[in-house]
Chains A and B, each alone.
Chain A
Amino acid sequence: MQTMVETRNLRKTYSRPDGSTIEAVKGVNLEIQQGEIFSLLGPNGAGKTTTISMISGLVEPTEGDATIGGFSITKQSMEAKRLMGFVPQEIALYPELSARQNLAFFGRMYGMGGKALRRRVDELLEFVDLADRQNDRIDTFSGGMKRRVNIAAGLLNSPPLVYMDEPTVGIDPQNRRRVLDTVKLLRDEHNMTVLYTTHLMEEAQELSDRVAIMDHGEIIAMGTQDELTQQVGEEDRLEFTIGAQEIAEAVFERIQGETPGVTRILFNPPEQLDEDSSVFAPALLTVFAKRGRTALPQILQELDSAGVEIQSVAVREPDLEAVFLALTGRALRD
């Protein structure tokens, strides 16, 4: 297989207005193969957008370089840029222009014109199922429709490679489904390489051939989903959501010591979701155990006798969430 994108020690340091600096990306090394869907999975602020910005020529790396189809993004940026499409996290469209006008304009930025451009715009409007609304202004569109035009605008030049930065943010489940299916279609029927970023474990799980998990500007794990889940072993994950409650450390010790198969316990206290609201995510107790279903009754009993109020219980097979938890000790929360 051919390498489509390769990054070497990509680093980006931003300076803040107050003089301090922030290392948004701390030396990322990636290799994306031609024809695969590669996901960058990580919580908000992990550095996903900054990474994509550097390998698309939007932001100059503080250090390191990336090649796209063999062209350096810093030294041969025009050649490299011709190979890529870009679907930003924001709806990067002119609200006062129609869907068609937006696509036609960005097509011209790729040097297209005339009949070829018209045909490509028709094709893409069909592809995202918006041919009937093509002459309406973007600001009359729903969020999901805007997202679809946003994706179409990233495919104008029929690129072999497309970056998609959280393309499902802020849309309803129906439209999300559509977007995910579209991404798979790009790989399966158009033989495209997709770099997909998300903070949603389920999306990465559904789409990815390979995944890089990112946190605090670093890739903390990378590989196929199987390779990654094997890192956390064959353990199941038992998740207990708990109300706002103090739990003595001794309870955890007892569970770990006396339940067969339990290897590790993590406790995430309640978390304020919104800075200025009183909505809290409940506390989350995660128990890693071989043969989780067998261990469950005993753990429940221990918790009950300790007076812990359990709101829900789930047994999860090894997944990317488990990998993130295992590596960072934190949950990958929305």
Chain B
Amino acid sequence: MMRKILAVAFKELYVTFRDRNLVLLMFATPLVLSTIIGMAFGGSGDSEVPDFADIAVAVVNLDEGADLQEMINLPDQLPNPDTFPIDAAALFPPLPDGVALNFGDQLAAILLSQPVEGAGTGAIGGFDPTEIGCSLLDESESGGAAAAPLGSLDDLLDATAMDSADQARAAVDSGEFAAAVIIPPGFSSQVAPQFAFDDDFIIRAQAPGEGGIVEVYASSGRPISARIVHSIVVGMVNQFVRVGVAFGATLETSANALAGGIARGEIELGAVDLSALSADLQELDATALEPLGCLITPGANNISAAQRPLEAIQEGHPFARVIVPAGAAQAVFFALFTGVFGIQSIYQERRNWTLQRMIVSPTPRIFLLAGKLLGNLVIVFLQILILLAALTLVASLVIGQPTLVWGGNIAAVLVVTLALSLCATGLGVFLVGLAKTPEQVNLFGPMVNISLAVLGGTFGFALPEQAARFSLIYWGVDAFTQLANAQTDFTLNLIVLFGQGVLLFLVGAWLFKRRLDL
């Protein structure tokens, strides 16, 4: 029986590749497109100096910082098991006035490619983030050449500091900048957790306030540049938020342990060496801040942390960083069309009665569909691979040396491509099964494909991730981006893609059975 499926699949391939126009449409168009992408991003293709860099960005930092005192929100009184009240201030060593964390300064410094100062403005014990090392750095390599950034933000952005948000926006409008990054006054307070004691004197993190959202004011005339800036900023802000949460969690636990101990009388206050305790506490904070240390260590080549946005920024050539998501999205987008219109050929087979000839042979209809699926799956597979190869070539030319932009794990690239091909072809079977006429496929096929592309961020604007997850393009691009960053955490992506493909095929086949009554 498998032989019949293979016969149909092979015939499908053969017929497709005999049709020159179809081959041209399927392979040449994406190739031309990827070359255009390459030229647009890579300048003249001169391998010496990729003039891809230098997206003009204005950086406005209005961050007022977060006061540590306020962050911790000490109550006036701590619960007192005995009679004597404890002055809260006596419990914790008083922080020097004006000690504040300013994450905005750091973000601005990174964007401006300036040396990064510590987040704290005053030196307080172990709390100076500039002294925090990055344990994720491979020590053996950190001193050597590998520590040098493969590509720093400097290659990518031509950032200018500005003082006023309005001024910056006006400059973007006038075309001077592709985008303005405006760090709001409340950025640090947003990132840094706020604490308060509840009625039981348990310390709790507070929901962050509003008003701390970093704005990327983009020029509509330069959507691609603006998108790059946007994705960089989003990546970095996420990083700060991650640090803030980790920091908050540690602080919360340790402070609660301390307060709880005192409250239950397990810790006798007189015996507590407060200064040592607070030093301990601050050690913990330092651990929490480690990821931040990675973020601000130039060239940190951390490969193991699950911090994709960070890696995307710090690894690889800037051109590769852009061509991976953009190219993968384009590849899948094209694959969707091949999938739908490849399966649609069943209508043509019905019109010229070759379908009927197959049906009157002793071959179950599901085998005919499976053969069609398989044949088109191979076509889509080849199409995506050719596109990936073409993009690799373009990227290598732009970068000036052979670069595997999709990462070195060829087997994994093939598996992801296969999953995507199955999904795209399964979608084809589903759509063709759902439609009543070929005209409906012509109408709905592109509509569905374009919707998926919009959801998946193919056209240069990203939708919220919750929405993007509905698109197989999201899952595919995500997996390819991970591969490009030498990550392999895409099991879920594979499950989603394979599962969706099989499901769509089965539902499509069921719908089809009803339509195959000729």
Contacts and interface: CB of A to CB of B under 8 A. Distances in A.
B359 A111 contact: no
Interface string A109-125: 11101000000000000
B3 A88 contact: no
B446 to A, nearest CB: 23
A59 B362 CA distance: 14
Given A58-B359, A84-B360, A101-B14, A111 B352 contact: no
A82 interface: yes
Nearest to B355: A92
Most chain-A CB neighbours within 10 Å: which of B354, B363, B518?
B354
A88 B357 CA distance: 8
Contact of B362 (A89, A105, A110): A110
B92 interface: no
B353 A96 contact: no
B15 interface: yes
A299 interface: no
B358 interface: yes
Nearest to A90: B353
B7 interface: yes
A92 B356 contact: yes
A28 interface: no
A108 B4 contact: yes
Given A96-B18, A105-B11, A59 B518 contact: yes
Nearest to A50: B518
B139 interface: no
Contacts of A111: 3-4, 362
A77 B359 CA distance: 11
Nearest to B367: A109
Contacts of A90: 352-353
B131 interface: no
B19 interface: yes
B359 A96 contact: no
Contact of B357 (A97, A108, A153): A153
Chain B CB within 10 Å, residue with most, of A79, A91, A95, A106: A106
Nearest to B18: A96
A150 B363 CA distance: 19
A109 B14 CA distance: 16
A78 B356 CA distance: 15
Nearest to B371: A109
Interface string B8-27: 10010011001100000000
A201 interface: no
A60 interface: yes
B361 interface: yes
Contacts of B14: 97, 101
A97 B353 contact: no
A91 B353 CA distance: 7
Interface in A184-235: none
A57 B360 contact: yes
A151 B354 CA distance: 13
B517 interface: yes
Interface string B170-211: 000000000000000000000000000000000000000000
Interface string B353-391: 110111111111000000000000000000000000000
Contacts of B356: 53, 58, 86, 88, 92
B19 A53 contact: no
A82 B361 CA distance: 7
Give the interface centre of B360, B363, B518 by most chain A CB atoms within 10 Å. Answer: B360
B357 A82 contact: no
A86 B360 contact: yes
B359 A97 contact: no
A92 B518 CA distance: 15
B7 A88 contact: no
Nearest to B16: A96
A160 B415 CA distance: 48
A188 B518 CA distance: 33
A59 B350 CA distance: 13
A81 B354 contact: no
A106 B361 contact: yes
Contacts of B361: 81, 106, 109-110, 157
A53 B518 contact: yes
A86 B357 contact: yes
A92 B354 contact: yes
A93 B362 CA distance: 18
A97 B12 CA distance: 11
Contact of B7 (A53, A105, A157): A105
B360 A56 contact: yes
A106 B517 contact: no
Contacts of A58: 356, 359-360, 518
Contact of A57 (B3, B15, B354, B359): B359
A127 interface: no
A82 B356 CA distance: 15
Contacts of B353: 88-92
Contacts of B11: 94, 97, 105
B359 to A, nearest CB: 6
Contacts of B15: 94, 96-97
Contacts of A59: 517-518
A111 B8 CA distance: 12
Interface string A17-36: 00000000000000000000
Contacts of B517: 59-60
Nearest to B7: A108
Given A58-B359, A84-B360, A96 B3 contact: no
A154 to B, nearest CB: 8
Contacts of B19: 96
Interface in B133-177: none
Contacts of A108: 3-4, 7
A131 B517 CA distance: 36
Contacts of A101: 14
Interface of A: 53, 56-60, 77-79, 81-82, 84, 86, 88-97, 101, 105-106, 108-111, 113, 153, 157
Given A53-B518, A108-B7, A109-B7, 20 more contacts: A56-B360, A57-B359, A58-B360, A78-B364, A79-B362, A81-B360, A81-B361, A82-B362, A91-B352, A91-B353, A92-B357, A93-B352, A95-B352, A97-B11, A97-B14, A97-B15, A101-B14, A106-B361, A109-B357, A109-B358
18 contacts: A53-B518, A78-B364, A81-B360, A84-B360, A86-B356, A88-B357, A92-B352, A93-B354, A94-B11, A95-B352, A105-B7, A106-B361, A108-B3, A109-B7, A110-B361, A111-B362, A153-B357, A157-B361
